[in-house]
Amino acid sequence: MNRERSYNGCRMAQIIDTLTTDAERCVIPGHGALAAKPADRELFYSAEVARATDELYVRVRDVIPAVEWPVYAPYIHAISQLKQERDAVVLAHNYMTPEIFACVGDIRGDSLQLAREAARTPASVIVQAGVHFMAETSKILSPEKTVLIPDMAAGCSLASAITGEDVRLMKAAHPNVPVVSYVNSSAEVKAESDVCCTSSNAVQVTEWIAAEWDVDRVIVIPDEYLARNVATQTSLRIITWQGHCEVHERFTASDIEQLRISYPGALVLAHPECPPDVLSVADFAGSTAALADYVERERPKRVILLTECSMSDNVAVSNPATDFVRPCNLCPHMKRITLQGIYDALLEMKHEVVVEAQIAQRARIAIERMLSVPLGLKPPGFTTGRAAVDVELMSRA
């Protein structure tokens, strides 16, 4: 498959899904496939490492060229050993690159899956292969555990879009209206909220809290587009905040129109952080877990995934018969997490995430309320093709 990849800030544009050559493999400056040098860390691709990791390479050989494996394998082997020594697990989000997601991730999934498993794991140490708000969530749910993040600068445009003070002002403007905060938010914001949600359960949580409070209005923050998409799925009136995911806000309905022309018959799958006009013309929409479940269940011949780039690679690993068109965008924050970063964090037990006790206590209430809301047997999707619904939009301006 020839994927013509170009790195431009955090945009991976116009990717054509045919056969990949090693020379066309995407390399992100400082974080690309060949950026790390195991020899500099006294790690080598030895016969022992090859034997220990060959089976892992079988998982990812369709998405990682053989020429790159000797760079990854020493870190993967060393991380495996360190996990045993430290009694550690790696929680890998769906947006991690395949060598992390498939080869060192002990628990893999979307934000909701990782939040649930963070609370259940018996391990003493959690390494969050994801962004900072995810590590905070793990620490809040497991305060007795050591939670590490490979790069403290791995943030999130949504989490930085709103503060606890912003939420307090929203509550003052809308008294007696419950606050649902997307898990893509800081611990401080969660502490000011009544319940959290993820893209897997946003509709269910919003309707649940409205019924609990016996109200017809709910504040859903900080993602404007997720809130607008929730509004199309419920009769409740939604109040939201002007925050956007820098990965998903770039997709447009006109992108889909052009892709359908270029790839007739391909199914378009979109994440609900995309603008509502994208979901109105998509074939299916849902969280990363729901998107992966859809491909696994339906086995489509060709799909167009409108989400972060690594998601396509990770779903492709489990679905080699499906042809993936990748008009994706890179998340620069997720891409700060590398094998070398995971190795260094475990080796030196550094970059520990700590949440102030009072904030953690209040945030935990909101997270545990979310985890108590029952879900179906499979991740629910959003009904696509619906017209936009008016919401009340708030911002600092």
Asked, for residue 317, whether it belongs to a domain, the answer is no
Residue-wise pLDDT for 344-391, tens only, equals 999 999 999 999 999 999 999 999 999 998 876 566 799 999 999 999
Question: What number is the average pLDDT over the span 10-38?
Answer: 33
Asked, for residue 329, whether it belongs to a domain, the answer is no
DSSP code per residue over 281-321: H-SEEE-HHHHHHHHHHH--SEEEEESBHHHHHHHHHH-TT
Q: Which residue do the tokens 């879009």 mark?
A: 161
What's residue 111's pLDDT? 82
Range of the domain at 103: 25-155+335-348
User: What is the CATH number for 72?
Assistant: 3.40.50.10800
Question: What number is the average pLDDT over the span 42-46?
Answer: 90
Average pLDDT value for the chain: 88
Q: How far apart are CA 99 and CA 84, in angstroms?
A: 19
Asked, for residue 198, whether it belongs to a domain, the answer is no
Asked, for residue 307, whether it belongs to a domain, the answer is no
Please state which of the ranges 13-22, 187-196, 326-335, 349-358 shows the lowest mean pLDDT: 13-22
Stated as kind and residue range, the H or E segment containing 268 is: strand 267-270
Asked, for residue 305, whether it belongs to a domain, the answer is no
Number of domains in the chain: 1
Asked, for residue 83, whether it belongs to a domain, the answer is yes
Cβ proximity of 284 and 294 under 8 Å = yes
Kindly state the tokens that stand for 59. Answer: 């998982």
Residue-wise pLDDT for 190-206, tens only, equals 999 999 999 999 999 99
Asked, for residue 86, whether it belongs to a domain, the answer is yes
Cβ proximity of 312 and 295 under 8 Å = no
Q: How far apart are CA 265 and CA 59, in angstroms?
A: 28
Asked, for residue 176, whether it belongs to a domain, the answer is no
